[in-house]
Chains A and B, each alone.
Chain A
């Protein structure tokens, strides 16, 4: 560009192209000239006063930099706040340049302004964040003296400006051992470390302090900004978590169940003292070994099928010596989002319970034997009485030569001798069932046999004997002869009870049922029933309502004994004149194991 053109461009174009708002103002504060940028920022200016355009005012400002420049002919730089042409508050830096005539007059000033609204906003925001950020912020010099701090810092520690940071943070006389500011001063990098301290009330605080250099390019910063995040609360939570974990550990330690847990790879990580006792192994020796060595194969099957939990009411595990121990087992795969985190197994030792159960059965058994024997003694008394009476009546008849009396006495003797054979039979039953010959049988078949056996006798007595034996009752390990004897006894009692209540049509029903895991036999009749006194004595001792012609009174005792030997119970309901219901219940898990020859 030729020089003339350049000058020309400067004269005509520079004014418009310079990236500043330029306005020329006369001594009446009127804008006499302005560039395009000015118009774009502040809007229409022609014929207006500067204060109208800059600030939307109707009078000129109290302090006016242009005024001063008009007076002293010197240039100035000012920070100003005004409104732009949209009425929006803006900040700008104004250079006031007087145009001075040769005679020293200043007829105009040139005002060149730069919009610094954005910078101003950033500054304000920085200040805001500095003060309001929810952590303790301070600026520290190389002597570790605090030169600036934010509001929270002020609230927490009080006045701190000029104090050394370790005094403030930790009430300490020398810098903290892990001071991140010291490291930042040394290498100019950002550092962070956890520090413990106390606020001005002495409350213990935990912080994570991050320090960053404040520098203008020097290698060794002159100041650092230290930001301390109060993590006391998190610290407290961590403590609580630790406590909860310790609590849980104690629970596992002291559980009355054996507890074994494994990680995702199935390696044992928890083996509590009870598990140590149960398996006769120490936690140390089994740590890291496969948990599958300890749980029953059913759990492995369940896991391989994709199952996550199994409860085995009764299973067996082997201890170190290979002894089988009965346990209740609960296995759980610990899952999270479909991923297996680990495995936990719980073992309840059933040995004590089994022993108690056995003791209870033994005690019941003994009680039954004692009662039976005591009862038999009473029964024998009655027979003796009959024999003695018979003999007396015979001899009295002979003395008086009374044939009728002799005959009477003879009948008495005969009857009681028959009773003795009845006793012999029941005694035999009683002793025979000392040892059960259990085998797997259809419970309904035994009932069917008994109903068949008594069909004739019932028919003969004009009594209906029927069976209600539903399908689907599973096989059970029973002594079929023993159960046969029990049902026979109950059915024969029921038939007698119906016969004794001769005013109505007798009905005896034999029923079987499955209730939960309990096998139930019932014998119901609509016979004479039992009165209060008789009800109390049914099982109390040898008891017969049938008079001396029938019954030894041993039947029910033998029945009860056989039922007890099967781990079952026998109960009855009876209403005088309405009938009776005798019920034998056999919890399946208590049934005897089948005898060896029959074992599955």
Chain B
């Protein structure tokens, strides 16, 4: 871990997954920050200024979708790439017309990537490396 390390914000209300991702990504030299709710994630994003956000799409209090919309409407985070992690939906729901059904607002772009649970660690790392190096 160096000061030049890329920073990743992990938003997940399941501590297990959060911990797993934090350890996994930490082992690859990324700096990580775990947020356990949407509110916490917005605060953390402002302080931590991440290079990428890993977002669980099934959070109970504030839906991951709502959080994603807020982030993308905020000029500070607008260009921060996002990776969705979900056990719920398939890729179809997060790309093309499926995504527009979820978020009709054309101002909100599709996420950079979507990873289905259970997370294939190698694939996740590959995707993240592809986005932020």
Question: Interface stretch among A27-35, A215-223, A352-360, A541-549?
Answer: A541-549
Shortest beta-carbon distance from A429 to chain B in Å: 22
- Contact check, B23 vs A378: say whether CB atoms are below 8 A apart: no
Query: Which residues of B lie under 8 Å from residue A547 when comparing CB positions?
Result: 13-15, 60
The digit string for B1-35, where 1 denotes a CB below 8 A from any CB of A, is 00000000000011111011101100100000000
Shortest beta-carbon distance from B129 to chain A in Å: 18
Could you tell me the distance between the alpha carbons of A546 and B121 in the complex, rounded to whole angstroms?
25
| B133 interfacial contact with A, CB 8 Å | no
Shortest beta-carbon distance from A492 to chain B in Å: 16
Assuming the contacts A382-B117, A388-B118, asked whether A548 and B16 have C-beta atoms less than 8 A apart, the reply is yes
User: Number of residue pairs across A and B with beta carbons under 8 Å?
Assistant: 72
Shortest beta-carbon distance from A317 to chain B in Å: 53
- Contact check, A385 vs B20: say whether CB atoms are below 8 A apart: yes
Assuming the contacts A415-B16, A545-B60, A547-B14, asked whether A382 and B87 have C-beta atoms less than 8 A apart, the reply is yes
Shortest beta-carbon distance from B87 to chain A in Å: 5
B20 touches which one: A392, A534, A537 (CB < 8 A)? A392
Query: Which residues of B lie under 8 Å from residue A531 when comparing CB positions?
Result: 60-63
The digit string for A174-211, where 1 denotes a CB below 8 A from any CB of B, is 00000000000000000000000000000000000000
- List CB contacts (< 8 Å) of B20-72 with chain A: 20-21, 23-24, 27, 60-63, 65-66
Query: Which residues of A lie under 8 Å from residue B117 when comparing CB positions?
Result: 381-382, 385
- Contact check, B19 vs A393: say whether CB atoms are below 8 A apart: yes
Query: Which residues of B lie under 8 Å from residue A389 when comparing CB positions?
Result: 16-17, 19-21
Shortest beta-carbon distance from B24 to chain A in Å: 6
Could you tell me the distance between the alpha carbons of A546 and B58 in the complex, rounded to whole angstroms?
11
- Contact check, A405 vs B60: say whether CB atoms are below 8 A apart: no
- Contact check, A392 vs B16: say whether CB atoms are below 8 A apart: no
Interface size range on A against B: 20 to 34
| A386 interfacial contact with B, CB 8 Å | yes
Could you tell me the distance between the alpha carbons of A384 and B13 in the complex, rounded to whole angstroms?
17
Query: Which residues of A lie under 8 Å from residue B24 when comparing CB positions?
Result: 392, 396
- Contact check, A381 vs B19: say whether CB atoms are below 8 A apart: no
- Contact check, A386 vs B16: say whether CB atoms are below 8 A apart: yes
Tell me the nearest residue of chain B to A534, going by C-beta: B60
Query: Which residues of B lie under 8 Å from residue A405 when comparing CB positions?
Result: 23
Tell me the nearest residue of chain A to B61, going by C-beta: A531
Shortest beta-carbon distance from A575 to chain B in Å: 14
- Contact check, B13 vs A533: say whether CB atoms are below 8 A apart: no
Could you tell me the distance between the alpha carbons of A381 and B116 in the complex, rounded to whole angstroms?
9
- Contact check, B88 vs A378: say whether CB atoms are below 8 A apart: yes
Query: Which residues of A lie under 8 Å from residue B116 when comparing CB positions?
Result: 381
B23 touches which one: A381, A382, A393 (CB < 8 A)? A393
Could you tell me the distance between the alpha carbons of A384 and B23 in the complex, rounded to whole angstroms?
17
Query: Which residues of B lie under 8 Å from residue A378 when comparing CB positions?
Result: 87-88
Assuming the contacts A381-B117, A381-B118, A548-B14, asked whether A393 and B88 have C-beta atoms less than 8 A apart, the reply is no
A533 touches which one: B20, B21, B63, B119 (CB < 8 A)? B63
Could you tell me the distance between the alpha carbons of A546 and B61 in the complex, rounded to whole angstroms?
10
- Contact check, B121 vs A392: say whether CB atoms are below 8 A apart: yes
- Contact check, A390 vs B16: say whether CB atoms are below 8 A apart: yes
| A416 interfacial contact with B, CB 8 Å | yes
- List CB contacts (< 8 Å) of A528-558 with chain B: 531-534, 537, 541, 545-548
Shortest beta-carbon distance from A525 to chain B in Å: 15
B87 touches which one: A381, A390, A396, A545 (CB < 8 A)? A381
| A408 interfacial contact with B, CB 8 Å | yes
- Contact check, B88 vs A384: say whether CB atoms are below 8 A apart: no
Tell me the nearest residue of chain B to A402, going by C-beta: B23
- List CB contacts (< 8 Å) of A366-382 with chain B: 378, 381-382
Assuming the contacts A392-B23, A533-B65, asked whether A412 and B60 have C-beta atoms less than 8 A apart, the reply is no
Most buried by B among A405, A408, A416: A408
Query: Which residues of A lie under 8 Å from residue B60 when comparing CB positions?
Result: 531, 534, 545-547
The digit string for A405-422, where 1 denotes a CB below 8 A from any CB of B, is 100110010011000000
Could you tell me the distance between the alpha carbons of A408 and B20 in the complex, rounded to whole angstroms?
10
- Contact check, B17 vs A385: say whether CB atoms are below 8 A apart: yes
- Contact check, A408 vs B65: say whether CB atoms are below 8 A apart: no
Assuming the contacts A378-B88, A533-B65, asked whether A384 and B14 have C-beta atoms less than 8 A apart, the reply is no
- Contact check, B63 vs A412: say whether CB atoms are below 8 A apart: no
- Contact check, A396 vs B118: say whether CB atoms are below 8 A apart: no
Assuming the contacts A378-B87, A378-B88, asked whether A385 and B119 have C-beta atoms less than 8 A apart, the reply is yes
A393 touches which one: B14, B20, B61 (CB < 8 A)? B20
Could you tell me the distance between the alpha carbons of A393 and B19 in the complex, rounded to whole angstroms?
8
Tell me the nearest residue of chain A to B13, going by C-beta: A547
Query: Which residues of B lie under 8 Å from residue A537 when comparing CB positions?
Result: 88
Could you tell me the distance between the alpha carbons of A532 and B62 in the complex, rounded to whole angstroms?
10
Query: Which residues of B lie under 8 Å from residue A532 when comparing CB positions?
Result: 63
- Contact check, B19 vs A412: say whether CB atoms are below 8 A apart: yes
- Contact check, B87 vs A385: say whether CB atoms are below 8 A apart: yes
Could you tell me the distance between the alpha carbons of A137 and B23 in the complex, rounded to whole angstroms?
122
Query: Which residues of A lie under 8 Å from residue B15 when comparing CB positions?
Result: 547-548
Which B residues lie at the A interface, using CB under 8 A? 13-17, 19-21, 23-24, 27, 60-63, 65-66, 87-88, 116-119, 121
What would 9 more interface pairs be, CB under 8 Å, given A385-B119, A386-B16, A534-B60? A381-B118, A386-B17, A392-B24, A412-B16, A545-B60, A546-B60, A547-B13, A547-B14, A548-B16
Smallest CB-CB A-B distances: 6 pairs: A389-B20, A545-B60, A385-B118, A533-B63, A384-B118, A386-B16
| 12 intermolecular pairs with C-beta atoms under 8 Å apart | A384-B118, A386-B16, A388-B20, A389-B21, A392-B23, A405-B23, A408-B23, A409-B23, A532-B63, A534-B63, A547-B13, A547-B60
